[in-house]
Amino acid sequence: MRDRSSLGTPGQAGLSTRLRFSPRVLVVLALALPFFFCVREAIGAAIWAWHGASYRQVELVLDEVRPNSGSPYAAGHIEPGGEPMGEAVVGKGEGWVLENDPAIAFHPGLRVPIWWSAEAPTVGYGRGRYTNGVMVAKLPKPPGALLALGWSLGALAVVVVGLRALAWVGGTRVYRSEIPLGRE
């Protein structure tokens, strides 16, 4: 280890740096993903629960496929009401299938039952998962307040476990070193 008294003395040029690793970083990184997953699911379930009475089953009538610069979708409208809406599609063979249900092949005039609410906001929470316009085949029964509460308690449990793990790992250091750079 370098004698610090020689730093700044004429003829004793040198530079010292410290490297330090703390295992707390690993704890935070390991718990970040489960926490944000629980929060994401809780937000979606809370919106479904809050607007639960306004959801009804309607039909999405798909009219045509639009390429949309590499993200193709089937444009259509909701019946009753006529509000425009689209559904993602993927190419399969010489035709198109719905991305959220590859068993359904697209054809003009295709009717797909969906959950719809004019009052609920459309929020995406996960790939192909929204709080509005979800296919009934994918979600036979809308989530309720109990599911929102469960995901919220799950997020709280992850925070409690994380704080306990941080307290347990808190004072430990795995690696701490001083590396002298320059002449000795």
Q: Say if strands 84-92 and 134-135 run parallel, antiparallel, or are unpaired.
A: unpaired
How many Cα atoms are found within 13 Å in the side-chain-facing hemisphere of 40?
12
pLDDT in tens, 103-131: 889 999 999 999 999 899 988 887 777 88
pLDDT at 34 > cutoff 90: yes
Kindly state the percentage of the chain with pLDDT values over 70.
82
Kindly state the percentage of the chain with pLDDT values over 90.
45
Six-digit token string for 9: 């003395």
pLDDT at 111: 94
pLDDT at 133: 84
Distances (CA, A) of 55 to 50, 88, 90, 112, 183: 10, 22, 28, 16, 74
Query: Which amino acid, one-letter code, is at 35?
Result: F
Q: What is the pTM of this model?
A: 0.70
Contact 77, 83 (CB under 8 A): yes
- Comparing 152 with 91, the larger pLDDT belongs to 152
pLDDT in tens, 45-80: 999 999 999 999 999 999 999 988 888 999 999 998
For residue 78, give the H/E element and its range.
strand 73-79
In degrees and rounded to multiples of 5, residue 58 shows phi and psi of -130, 180
Query: Which amino acid, one-letter code, is at 158?
Result: V
Q: What number of residues does the chain have?
A: 184
Comparing CA positions, the residue from 150, 152, 153, 130 lying closest to residue 142 is: 130
Quote the CA–CA distance of 130 and 150 in Å, as a whole number. 19
Q: Which residues of 57-71 are buried (b: 16+ CB within 10 A; e: fewer)?
A: ebbbbbeebeeeeee
In degrees and rounded to multiples of 5, residue 13 shows phi and psi of -70, 140
Q: Is 8 helix (H, G, I), strand (E, B) or coil?
A: coil
Mean residue pLDDT across the chain:
84
Name the residue with tokens 């379930």: 45
